[in-house]
Structure 1
């Protein structure tokens, strides 16, 4: 997985890193149980501070995307660990996105179509990665 971090972005580097790892998992580029680079290695490869990587890994662990073991390092967690509380958070975020879309004049059908396209594209990218 190739990371593209934008140091000029208003989005903090640790958030960009977290988001790209989540996207890699969602697209199937990172498989369940797959080892991630060590904090030091990823920091070196990306040219960022190790504390930034450590913060991103900590968030990913709290969210259930990765597991961290002192002997084996960080690895992608099993999908079953991510289902619980997430649904409630997803509904809250979708509610906000729907409200913003409506306030900006986007109709329900267009909003749902965009959601479907994004979701389908994610799985299409995943299928290509699995080949």
Structure 2
């Protein structure tokens, strides 16, 4: 995969209730979503990112691992980690997930307002974990 851009880290707020790995993960997702990180952009190595951000290697590795699981980035051995998702792919995945959620809610007899409450509760639970 070729590099089509660079990634400059934002600030990690060590006083935040949001864990640092989650902050880093969210920064990357937001930049993919708004088109600032294009598919093919090479990310810094885990060690370099940890050094730049003042984080442990394990913290950055966790963020990268979760991004890989979400198919936002991919790691190609010694070549490094690259942005995989594009803005369109990200939107398509979210639209598909939303459609599946709605199908499941309707199958359970749940209306839109209640379904949104379940979704909101799930987001809150993830934020706490």
TM-score range, shorter chain: 0.5 to 0.7
Counterparts of 1:98 and 1:39, CA distance in 2: 32
Structure 2 residue corresponding to 1:40, chosen from 15, 34, 47? 47
Q: How has the CA–CA distance of structure 1 residues 66 and 86 changed in structure 2, closer, same or farther, with 3 Å as cutoff?
A: farther
Match of 2:76 in 1: 69
Structure 2 residue corresponding to 1:57, chosen from 56, 61, 64? 64
Structure 1 residue corresponding to 2:29, chosen from 3, 22, 27? 22
Residue aligned with 2:28, SS: helix
Contact 1:64/1:81 (<8 A) preserved: no
1:92-126 Cα shifts (integer Å, max 9, x gaps): 7x8238879xxxxxxxxxxxxxxxxxxxxxxxxxx
Match of 2:109 in 1: none
Gaps of 5+ in 2: 1-7, 103-114, 122-129
Residue aligned with 1:95, SS: helix
Match of 2:97 in 1: 88
Residue aligned with 2:60, SS: helix
Question: What is the Cα deviation at residue 13 of structure 1?
Answer: 0.6
Counterparts of 2:61 and 2:77, CA distance in 1: 13
Q: How has the CA–CA distance of structure 1 residues 23 and 97 changed in structure 2, closer, same or farther, with 3 Å as cutoff?
A: farther
Question: What is the Cα deviation at residue 30 of structure 1?
Answer: 1.1
Aligned residue pairs total 99
Counterparts of 2:37 and 2:73, CA distance in 1: 11
Gaps of 5+ in 1: 101-131
